[in-house]
Structure 1
Amino acid sequence: MAEILQYVHKDGFLHRLHPYTKIAFIIVVSIMCIIATDIGFLTFMVLAMLAFAAYGRLLTESLQQLKLILVMSLIFILITIITMPNGDTLGYLIPQGIPFAGGLIPVTDGGLLIGLVLTLRFMILIFAFQLFLISTQPRDLVHAMEKVGLPIDYILMFIIALRFIPTLQIEGQRIHEAQLARGFNPGSGFIGKIRSVAPIVVPLVSNALLRANVLGLTIDMRGYRIGRKTHIRERKFAGRDFVVMGILSVAGCGFIILLLAHLV
């Protein structure tokens, strides 16, 4: 089963980069995709994310949640089509031939364009943050956030919350399989999937609260205290980090030029 936001142990190019380099990468990519409105440029950024993942030997892991991303993207497009009917009408979600409801929801070029832009931005941000999290060890992320000056207790809560995401995913899958083994039949299709969620929520929340309580007791029993920490291993900037920083700087300057020329 594909785990969401779980660190993948490999020796790829992305894994060897310093966390600060990857944070700078996320900042540059986020700013560029949020400002840009050209569909061609945003599509290029999506392809660049996939190429970057392939170079870092993480393409398979990056595409494991592709089905969920596509479903969310389709929902974004439908919402924008319904809520932003701007421009020329291209058609209707409900055909005009259907009595009473036909022709009530027009599909306009403006709404479709906005939906595609938001969808591409969503995909870029998801791929960028996913690459960062699955290629960065939690301890390296903690060290980087601590050096920035963030309080260690907030960092601890953030790391625990990230670790709980794949844990809850695995726990939910186990509960679902246990219920199916006991003869629970939610049915097939979209309605069946909705019906299968409700019986999972209660035991999943109960187990999550129990795990959180055990984790808190474990932290207290091991004598964890907030204070100045020392680290056995310190990550240093390498040549590859300076190369990536230079590429990001050139990409940022090029984006500014394109932005001033109204090409993005």
Structure 2
Amino acid sequence: MKMRFVFFASLFVIILLLLGLSLPSGAVVAAPQPQGFATSTPGPDGRIIYIVKEGDTCSQVALLHGIAVTQLRQFNTRLDENCTLTPGQQLIVGLSVSSLPTAGPATAPPTPTATLTPVSGTTEVCILLFNDANGDALRQETEFGIDGGAVSLTNVNGSYSKTENTTSAVDPDTLEPVRACFVDVPQGDYNISMAVPDDYNPTMAVSYKLTVKAGDRASIDFGAQSKTVTVSDPAATEGSGRSPLLGIFGLLLLLGGAGLGYYAYRSSQPTSKLKGSPLDKR
């Protein structure tokens, strides 16, 4: 009986030792730091630019930035049908919803204004990027649309997001610029972001917050001016307007000076002593 007790006690000790050896050590190994992807920074015009690297494809770029390939094509209309990429190529991969920063006490750029028109049973948002030739942030009748821009409409809660391209087309019936329209838009609060073409500068803020209700139709205008447009200097124009008067005044002074010089010359000449004598009459 005693031998059985010793046998089972020894067996229990051996089992405990085996279990202790099989347990993992108590040292805690820190988890490796997650490797993140470098994100692109929005430019001053609101566009988020990605520089293509060797071996990149449209699918990889779209997946990296959380967008669809179709949306990547909408942002970059110059991509060919095979979506061919070259190293160093700049791609627009998104639009920033934040407004342009203002430095110090400088005046903020004009904010686009929305015009709401009741439309029964639909919610529609139409955007126009117009050529602000004179840079006054107000659309004139002779200022039409611009090709190559991209505008996005995004719900603040992320439930809706679409992108459209701007156009310079004109409606033949109304002779008004054709707008980029988002149809069947659910009511709610939205952020609108505009990316102007590379050869234009925005004359207004490139982002706008909009609230739409079912049955409304919102029309919003954004302005951009070509970088090749030169604006005349008002000071130079005013100076050129006064120059003829100054020229006439200078000419009169010159003639007056010449007359005084001639008079002084005649006065300095000696009087002839033969004047009035018989020899003078000869």
Given the two structures, how large is their TM-score scaled by the length of structure 2?
A: 0.21
Of structures 1 and 2, the larger Rg is shown by 2
Larger helix fraction of residues: 1
Given the two structures, how large is their TM-score scaled by the length of structure 1?
A: 0.22
Larger strand fraction of residues: 2
Higher relative contact order (CA 8 A, sep 6+): 1
